[in-house]
Amino acid sequence: MPIHDQGYRRFGGSRSGRGNAWLVIASSIIRSMLQTKKFMVLLIVAWFPFLVRVGQVYFSANFSQIAFLAPTASTFREFLDQQSSFVFVVTIYVGAGLIANDRRANALQIYLAKPLTRAEYVAGKAAALMAFLMFITFVPGILLLLVQILLAGSFAFVSKNLFLFPAITVYSILECTLATFGMLALSSMSKSRRFVGIMFAGLILFTKAIQGMFWLLTRSSAASLISPTASLSRVGDTIFRVPPRYDTPIVASLLVVILLVVVSIIVLERRVRGVEVVA
Amino acid sequence: MSDVVPPAAPSPSAPDDAVVRLSDVSVVYGKNYALRGVSALFSKGAVGLLGPNGAGKSTMLKSLLGFVTPTEGRMTVLGLDVAESPLEIRARIGYMPENDAHIPGMNAVSFVAYCGELAGLGRVDAMQRAHEVLYYVGLDEARYRNVETYSTGMKQRIKLAQALVHDPDLLFLDEPTNGMDPKGRDEMLELVRDLGHNKGVNLILSSHLLPDVEYTCDRVVVMDGGRIATQGPIDELKGPSGRVYEVRAKSGADRLVQLLKAAGMECKATDEDVMRVFVPVGKSARDVFAVAAAEGIQLRHVRPSVPTLEDVFARAVGEA
């Protein structure tokens, strides 16, 4: 008899309770993405605008000649607007393959044969993408506000613009949720991450182009409702209390954003299954 | 009907040690019935789920996993209702899918450990178990290679490893030897046999390959056209030896088949010129000779044979 049997042995340890699977999925994705050099470079580059804004806050606080650069509420709105381009790139880079790759490798039946629900699977994927997007929107946004307090040496600006804390939070969540669920829905519809990336970019750019053409022809911004990014911008302007760039009703723009998230969830509900039944 | 193979007996008289029970389960895809009123019992140990392609084997496993919802009927796995406790069931079972399946971008040990974590193991335990099961399935040397670079045989092994990592009480193996070379196939069958007979893991082996089921399992459920054709212990289903004869005629084999069938004896031609004759109760080999002699057909070879699972299968699905 061997001293140590290296054959199959029954497991005598403990198991965690249910409900942690989404966390396992999310942390695995985050770990694997952070091991990618290209992605690390992208994350670092996504923080450059923050550094520029910190410079702006610093110089305007210390040199009266350029006090006109002192931040206002719209500075934070503009900052998050700038971050949108990074949101676009990170969403494609991280999100395109999240479900598409699993579909290509038939991994869904591996996942769903484990003790986790389809909702937990989607939650894990969404949490990973949301975490990265919040890291380049919400985190630098709030940090910028804190830097402003530190460098200005007073709470005057913050007490005057206290709404900026919830504004940055709500807008970041709204933007990241829309990007996350939109991308996951697209990712669940194909087995090719490349195709998903092209679809996402096409959807964003095409709707934006249509909206631009409509505006050129009619000088009406009503068509902004067909563009997810324009609708989000309209909602963002209201959240940050800046003059709206489109004259569409805020309720309509908000409904478009909510509708897109709901449609994405419906698509995910239909596409994320352990078995694909073609009747 | 001959008594060589008992007729299908999906009776509700369940053995107490049943790990899976299906009661009148039907699954419909569009207008097509994949399972039609299936009642079956899978007892502890190794049970084969046998049937031709399209018989409904994979659909049955997917229904038990909760991937497919039956239109009617009730299923229990390890005493838990599939409709009410799918997650509790999945925590206690391991599933090795039929087709190529893996988590992209991972090496073998990460993949298997990840599956362990998904099944509720702690990170350290999952990693330790991953190494153990990879050693067990024979992938220890290749465990740091990306799964996507694996050969078909290695992919089959890693699918088994991910199904085993959390130490399930019941394994669903869907065509585990698909695409494997003869040596790899033998090794896989050894693993399955070892799990079922020495390691105390209950398993259901779905396959259309009779030798695989015969080698690894003690009981069998035979399916055909979405229904249970027969089920029971393989030895019992085969019936007593000596009731089947291998017969070779010098000439007129086709005519002999017709005559024997007319005399109430089932015949099944094999790839060679040997036919297998199932002799019912009350008849003997003498009757085979008598039928041949009456027609002037010269028999070259009559030998009692041991019934095989192939005979059971052929009778059950009506291919005899």
Give the CATH number for residue B250.
Answer: 3.30.70
Asked if residue B85 belongs to a domain, the reply is yes
Final residue of a structural domain among B237, B254, B269: B237
Could you tell me if B127 and B157 lie in one domain? yes
Could you tell me if B64 and B163 lie in one domain? yes
Cα separation, A118 vs A111, in Å, equals: 9
- pLDDT at position B278 is 82
- Rg of chain A on CA atoms, in Å: 22
B255 phi and psi, to 5 degrees? Answer: -65, -40
The residue in chain A having the minimum alpha-carbon distance to the alpha carbon of residue B128 is A11
Could you tell me if B213 and B247 lie in one domain? no
ipTM, interface predicted TM-score of the complex: 0.89
Asked if residue A9 belongs to a domain, the reply is no
CA distance B100 to chain A (A): 7
Contacts with A, B 55-84, CB within 8 Å = 62, 65-68
Asked if residue B9 belongs to a domain, the reply is no
Query: How wide is the angle at C-alpha B240 spanned by C-alphas B235 and B242, nearest 5°?
Result: 130
Percent of chain A predicted with pLDDT > 70: 96
- pLDDT at position A224 is 86
Asked if residue B13 belongs to a domain, the reply is no
The more confidently predicted of residues B101 and A61 is B101
| Residue A77 pLDDT class (50, 70, 90 cuts) | very high
* Mean pLDDT for all residues in chain A: 91
Percent of chain A predicted with pLDDT > 90: 71
Which of A28-42, A183-197, A219-233, B92-106 is least confident? A219-233
Cα separation, A135 vs A182, in Å, equals: 19
Q: Taking the model in full, what pTM does it have?
A: 0.86
Q: Could you tell me whether strands B18-29 and B72-77 are parallel, antiparallel, or unpaired per DSSP bridges?
A: antiparallel
- Examine the pLDDT at A26 and tell me if it is beyond 60: yes
DSSP-assigned states of every residue in B210-250: HHHHHHH-SEEEEEETTEEEEEEEHHHHH-STTSEEEEEES
A174 phi and psi, to 5 degrees? Answer: -60, -50
- pLDDT at position A189 is 96
A207 phi and psi, to 5 degrees? Answer: -65, -35
Could you tell me if B225 and B249 lie in one domain? no
Residue A163 corresponds to which tokens in the numbers above?
A: 């709404």
- pLDDT at position A185 is 98
- pLDDT at position A2 is 52
Report the pLDDT averaged over residues A75-83: 94
Give the CATH number for residue B140.
Answer: 3.40.50.300
Could you tell me if B129 and B187 lie in one domain? yes
Asked if residue A176 belongs to a domain, the reply is yes
Q: Do A274 and B65 touch (CB under 8 A)?
A: yes
Could you tell me if B282 and B205 lie in one domain? no
Q: What's the structural domain count of chain A?
A: 1
Residues in chain B predicted with pLDDT less than 50, given as ranges, are 1-14, 320
Q: What's the structural domain count of chain B?
A: 2
CA distance A11 to chain B (A): 6
Could you tell me if B184 and B102 lie in one domain? yes
Final residue of a structural domain among B209, B237, B265: B237
CA distance A174 to chain B (A): 29
Q: Do B67 and A21 touch (CB under 8 A)?
A: no
DSSP-assigned states of every residue in A200-230: HHHHHHHHHHHHHHHHHHH--GGGGGG-HHH
Final residue of a structural domain among B183, B216, B237: B237
Asked if residue B8 belongs to a domain, the reply is no
- pLDDT at position B258 is 85
Contacts with B, A 99-158, CB within 8 Å = 101-102, 104-107, 109-117
The answer to whether A59 and A66 have CB atoms below 8 angstroms apart is yes
Report the pLDDT averaged over residues A194-208: 96
Residue A70 corresponds to which tokens in the numbers above?
A: 């002192």
The more confidently predicted of residues B53 and A258 is A258
Chain B residues lying within 8 Å of A275, measured CB to CB: 62, 67-68
Cα separation, B75 vs B301, in Å, equals: 49
Cα separation, B163 vs B305, in Å, equals: 39
- pLDDT at position A105 is 95
- pLDDT at position A199 is 97
| Residue A100 pLDDT class (50, 70, 90 cuts) | very high
CA distance A18 to chain B (A): 7
> Packing angle between helix A96-104 and helix A193-218, nearest 10 degrees?
140
Could you tell me if B132 and B55 lie in one domain? yes
- Examine the pLDDT at A85 and tell me if it is beyond 90: yes
- pLDDT at position B320 is 40
Could you tell me if B304 and B184 lie in one domain? no
Chain A residues lying within 8 Å of B106, measured CB to CB: 32
Could you tell me if B109 and B163 lie in one domain? yes
CB contact B33 to A (< 8 Å): no
- pLDDT at position B12 is 43
Q: Could you tell me whether strands B80-81 and B72-77 are parallel, antiparallel, or unpaired per DSSP bridges?
A: antiparallel
Asked if residue B2 belongs to a domain, the reply is no
Chain B residues lying within 8 Å of A18, measured CB to CB: 87, 91, 120
> Which residue range is the domain that position A98 belongs to?
21-271
Asked if residue A278 belongs to a domain, the reply is no
Asked if residue B6 belongs to a domain, the reply is no
Cα separation, A249 vs A253, in Å, equals: 7
Q: Could you tell me whether strands B266-269 and B275-278 are parallel, antiparallel, or unpaired per DSSP bridges?
A: antiparallel
Token pair 């900026």 is found at A164
The residue in chain A having the minimum alpha-carbon distance to the alpha carbon of residue B58 is A275
Could you tell me if B92 and B29 lie in one domain? yes
Could you tell me if B115 and B77 lie in one domain? yes
> Which residue range is the domain that position B168 belongs to?
18-237
